[in-house]
Amino acid sequence: MNALGIRLLGLFLLVALFGAAAAMWSETLKINVTVHTGEVDVEWSSWSCSDTGADPQAQEFNNEDGKDVADCLVKVEETDDEEDVIKLNVTITNAYPGYSVVITGIVDNIGTIPVKLYDHNITGVDESALDVDLGIPRDTQIEPGENSTYTLTITVLQDAEENHVYSFEVILVFAQWNEVSP
């Protein structure tokens, strides 16, 4: 076969393939996908201290006289960019051995995803002067629009120094429910 024959044969094959492709019927399917993620967002919505009159006492102490010597104040210390309360400040003044208060805080899930308590930490407690107990609910999952109550019991111990300032920090970290192991 000569060069002209090879060219003609190639041209014929090209026309045949193009004709078959043009005659093929087809249909295309498509999917448009948009994914909107949710939000993990919690805040302190309410807080209180059990000292609202006569000083509350630890079990082995009593305040039969109803004395109101110490004071407990809970207030907002920090908000985030959305003005959600994310840090509270507890100030106890004029405390003495036997004085024992319970700070109650309500945590609201204001996000769109269920959350659970992922981690908690109490740092800086002088255990010779203070007994600190964090009350954590049995089930820490909070559904969107729901809330949960946490308590912090602070008791001044016998070895606490007079005219001394004790400070410590409590941190609660919440995460999406499926990231927290049971």
State the pLDDT at residue 182.
Answer: 80
**pLDDT tens digits in sequence order for the chain, 182 residues long:** 677 667 766 667 666 666 655 668 999 999 999 999 999 999 999 999 999 999 999 999 999 999 999 999 999 999 999 999 999 999 999 999 999 999 999 999 999 999 999 999 999 999 999 999 999 999 999 999 999 999 999 999 999 999 999 999 999 999 999 999 88
State the pLDDT at residue 24.
Answer: 83
SS (H, E, C) the chain: CCHHHHHHHHHHHHHHHHHHHHHCCCCCCCCCCCCCCCCCCEEEEEEEECCCCCCCECCCCCCCCCCCCCEEEEEEEEECCCCCEEEEEEEEECCCCCEEEEEEEEEEECCCCCEEEEEEEEECCCCCCEEEEEECCCCCCECCCCEEEEEEEEEECCCCCCCCCCCCEEEEEEEEHHHCCC
| pTM, 2 dp | 0.83
State the pLDDT at residue 2.
Answer: 75
